[in-house]
Structure 1
Amino acid sequence: MQTTDAVTAQSTATFTTLNLNGNTNFTLATGSIVTVNGILKSGNVAGGATISGGTGIQAASGAELVIRADQAGDSLAITTNILANGASSLTKSGLGTVAITGANTYTGATTVNAGVLRATTNATALGAGALALAGGELQLANNTALNFGRNTTVTGDARLTSDRLALGAGVTHTLGTLSIGGQRLVIAGGANVNSGTAGITFGAVTFTDAPTFHVVNPTAGGTTLLTLGAVTNAGFSATITGNGNVAQSAVMDGAGGLILGVAGGATYSGTTTLNRANTYTGETVVNSGTLEISTSGGTSASAGSSP
């Protein structure tokens, strides 16, 4: 189905794809459910389209709902709920921006391949399944902290942003566990943060290769803080670059190490704080930036070996 004009009271229906061309809003009638496996926002014009109302939208049972905002100027807000239908999943593609704000119940994975997926308002905006960052940017945005709780796997270079809905002091948004290999994950403060700390917090972390965390402060003011839970580095060393800060909430373990800045390459000007009795045995290398060793709960903090 392709729309060029607003739809104001869509009844329950099933479409293979829904193409919103230009800034056309699509509103469901009260109690209606639209089943669709692909949504395309096209037109590449300023403004945006909205899908709202009704009970919600869903993929076919167990299917993947692919939402594509085609070009950088394409923007789509989905304020209706994205419903569970079997183990249905959601994939964001295209260069544009898709915002999801509902109390979403789908249980399959959420995958970001390209462009921007902006999850706001509800801690369940990302559904109840796992999260995969294969590219593009995931923005977590709310004026108060949200615990999304999604276990996250990074499979491609990606960006993860802590933002607000309105201009103000940063807040900390929380995901679940993190599995990352040799990718570069940018952790950033969002455009609506102008003071305070824009935080991203993970639970337990597993390295499957040597990752780079590029932590960058908000452009309008404030700082960005990446907090990692218990790290199992599996013999791989993590590199920290950028100008933001990094902290830990549990022990780092394994034969890998920690590198701040790249000698002759990307620099680091933030502060990384180690405040646990760490058991990792790899080298701790400070090429740039600040490494702060502090204590937590009366336990002496420690770093790995020095080069």
Structure 2
Amino acid sequence: MKSPSLFGSYAMRGWLFLSAMLFTQFSVSLNAQQISHKRNFSKQDIVAWCIVPFDSKNRGPVERANMLNEIGITKLAYDWRDNNIPTFDQELDALKQHHILLQAFWLTSGVNPSGEKGVEEVFKFLARRKVKTQIWYLFFPPAGFDSLPQKQKLGIAVSAVSYIAKRADSLGCTVGLYNHEGWFGEPENELAIIEMLKMANVGIVYNFNHAQDQIERFPKFYPKLLPHLMAINLAGLKKGDQHIYPIGQGDSESGMIEIVWKSSYKGPIGIINENTHPDAEVGLKMNMSGLKAILESIGDKTAAASF
């Protein structure tokens, strides 16, 4: 017969084991609930992108902010063109008045960004208005770039990105390398640039609308992008087709979105109007509708219900 003290010891161990099991089950259940409620795919977290030059109504700053308010989008990535430079201040003022966050500012350059007017205009504006935001940056390689050895390509690109990143860092801004076809649009090359730069304010903005040739590779390289991802812009994709479709009208974006949804990514999610519809408002609504259907199909009922 076991002594009372030994029996008590076994009873205590059993109680501790049962408690641990119950706590584990509770934690798993709680984590599952958190996964379905902590996603960044809800309407209030969506970023509008490609709605300035891609808009048949040619909305001005106030009209654009009003439109975003009306459809419930609270973040804008600003894809300006030269004709928009005089209205940078009006754009920011309108966004502030309508409680819309300036999530990002578009910027491009060639090999010598320090000598480009557009680059200087953007940095002067950001400094003057004390704007801290993401800079979505696209590098345009020079003629003959494709024939150069990889090491030389990296050196040229790193030099340009370094200038942009240092200027941005002095203002408290971050820089996202923007995939847009060609050498600079390949994730492996962007990762190599980041590795060479070793600057904390440089990351990646990944765009489905320029991923037509990367669909099959996406599950493989996405985990490598994840530590550096600053934003993801969604679009409809069809294998073997370079056209940009509304979200939900392709044959590949649903699976790619699910990969992102299941990952640890918690950053901005953009929807675009590049070639979606002449009217930016209609294009954004089409993409929100398509995203809602995909979210329902992958089980994020909470985010889907926000649209």
Q: Same fold (TM over 0.5)?
A: no
Name the one with the larger helix percent.
2
TM-score, structure 1 normalization: 0.28
Structure with the higher strand share, 1 or 2? 1
TM-score scaled by length of structure 2: 0.28
Give the number of the structure with larger relative contact order, counting CA–CA contacts within 8 Å between residues 6 or more apart: 2
Larger radius of gyration: 2
